[in-house]
Amino acid sequence: MRKFIFTLALVSTVVSEESFSQDRSQARSMVISQNGIVAAEHPLAAQAGAMILSHGGHAVDAAVAANAVMGLVAPMSNGIGGDLFAIVYEAKSGKLFGLNASGWAPKMLSVDFLKNKGLTTMPYRGIHSVTVPGAVDGWDKLLLRFGRLKFAEILSPAIRYAEEGFPVTELVSGLWKANERLLQENPIAAKTFLMKDQSPAAGEVFRNSDLAWSYKQIAETGRDAFYKGEIAKRILAFSNREEGTLSAADLVEFSSEWVEPISTTYHRWTVYELPPNGQGIAALTMLNIMENFPLKEYGHNSTLSLHAMIEAKKLAYADMLTFVADPKFAKIPVQGILSKEYAQARSKLIDVEKASCSVGPGQPPIAMGNETIYLCVSDREGNMVSLIQSNYENFGSCLVADGTGFALQNRGALFSLDPKSPNVLTGRKRPLHTIIPAFMTKGDVRIAFGIMGGWNQSQAHAQFVSNVVDQGMNIQSALEAPRFTKRTFEGCDVQIEGRVLPQVRAELETKGHKMSVRGDFSGVMGGGQAVMRDFSKGINYGASDPRKDGAAIPEPIRRK
């Protein structure tokens, strides 16, 4: 009888374990390794970073290598014509370092200049939407402080793919196709990014010899090639031909900046973002407001939890839009916005029974004193990088300087021409920025994460954190879980993925939310990557969002 009971118990255990592994809702497993892991939106980029790790590179070396490949394989979303932000965790010191590599407006570009041309709002495309690209200087600052390898080795994979070609992936081909007509309107952009005047289809091999030339310039002479050398000369010649205001001094005098990350706590976790001019403060504000509601008890993606998060988003974004700008030109009450007392007061504005369709900013206390890519890396020593890079809109300004192979960003479109706005256009000023890397810690665990997607990002970050903290999800499940997004600043419109239960969506409608149902894994919700390090075990974990073509790839074993 005892033998029968033991056998039955063993069978029950096997069935239970098999049920867990076979019936989970998570689509793919985390990547787990004692060596490094690179998570990126394209497998070739992640693989390039992993190879750099296997050659003895630091996490920063791998991040730059992956970013360079991303600029080739997803040129509509990022590239060296855009900006960059990063958070670096240094294992030996346990310190976090923030880098703001967002470019400034040309010195001669002003509100009066544009108004004299008959413009009443910032141009969305074209030469006057172009700000100085910060990415290459950002690479340089990261490598000088943390890197172990030279530019030549780090950029080697991207150069080779640019020259020999790569097969275009599914989602990227769709984005390329969607921007085909826009590219056709610009001769140099069309020559650079189209094949026989058509966008490349999924599986079609694409080459970019001009970008290979630009990467080789940087490999040989570093950041000066971009801001002083041959690349700079081509950018300036093109700007002059387009009657732009960009000058040699705008490029030469530009420098990205090391900044102190800002943070808040969320149920005993510490969550970090970069300070303004980015929107990361909105993610922290949203978490502070959410902390006043029992989301764990409400349940994941229940009517009550989604209502609380959507309303928290509106309050956080109202403050962000009102106060955030370049801190060199505006006084921003960062500490006041992030205070728990302020969040508690703001949370009381949320009606649990009704959606608010018009939310204004608060009065924080004044304390003294689908156009982006995200990637992250954790190396075998525990150094970690959270890096985001972007052109802003697809193909940025849609302008390409002759022979350079990359689009110039249109970040200037985020300036205001309203003199009362803290984000009003001024020469040598950086605009309010959408792209944000993130980091979170508790005990021996460190997580580098990010979710791209314009104004989607802060609200997606808050949802990811809640999935990990409130719902106990692992990083892969937390990325995969259904999300909502509200990209507008007014109204009760909300976009939500079809995997959220119909009953929940209907109940949100009764509260006044105007729901727009998207696909099960909608790109509108952005795409994320995450790496986690458990220092107590010396193990790295990687996760990649199925809303993208990417992957988390472990460092291959090194040759002895």
Please identify which residue in the block is written with the tokens 């990417």. Answer: 550
Closest-CA residue to 528 (of 371, 301, 376): 376
Phi, psi of 273 (to 5 degrees): -135, 175
Answer yes or no: are the C-beta atoms of 552 and 529 closer than 8 Å.
yes
C-alpha 372/C-alpha 78 separation (Å) is 6
Both tokens of 241, joined, read: 């031909």
Catalytic site residue 372? yes
Inter-axis angle of helices 59-73 and 135-146, nearest 10: 160
C-alpha 19/C-alpha 12 separation (Å) is 10
DSSP letter for 127, please.
Answer: G
C-alpha 493/C-alpha 516 separation (Å) is 7
Burial 127-139 (b: 16+ CB within 10 A, else e): bbbbbbbbbbbbb
Answer yes or no: are the C-beta atoms of 99 and 257 closer than 8 Å.
yes
**Which H or E element spans position 262?**
strand 262-266
Both tokens of 492, joined, read: 């009760």
Which is catalytic among the residues 192, 303, 372, 434? 372
Neighbours of 554 (CB within 10 A): 19
**Which alpha helices (DSSP H) does 324-371 contain, by range?**
334-338, 340-347
What number of helices (H) and strands (E) belong to the chain?
A: 21, 21
Neighbours of 475 (CB within 10 A): 25
C-alpha 165/C-alpha 452 separation (Å) is 26
Whole-number CA gyration radius for the chain: 23
C-alpha 552/C-alpha 334 separation (Å) is 34
Please identify which residue in the block is written with the tokens 């670096």. Answer: 88
559: Cβ–Cβ under 8 A, 6 or more apart, which residues?
none
C-alpha 466/C-alpha 291 separation (Å) is 9
Closest-CA residue to 399 (of 544, 507, 240): 240
- What is the dihedral sign for C-alpha 11, 15, 16, 21? positive
Answer yes or no: are the C-beta atoms of 111 and 425 closer than 8 Å.
yes
Inter-axis angle of helices 340-347 and 303-323, nearest 10: 120
The catalytic residues are: 372
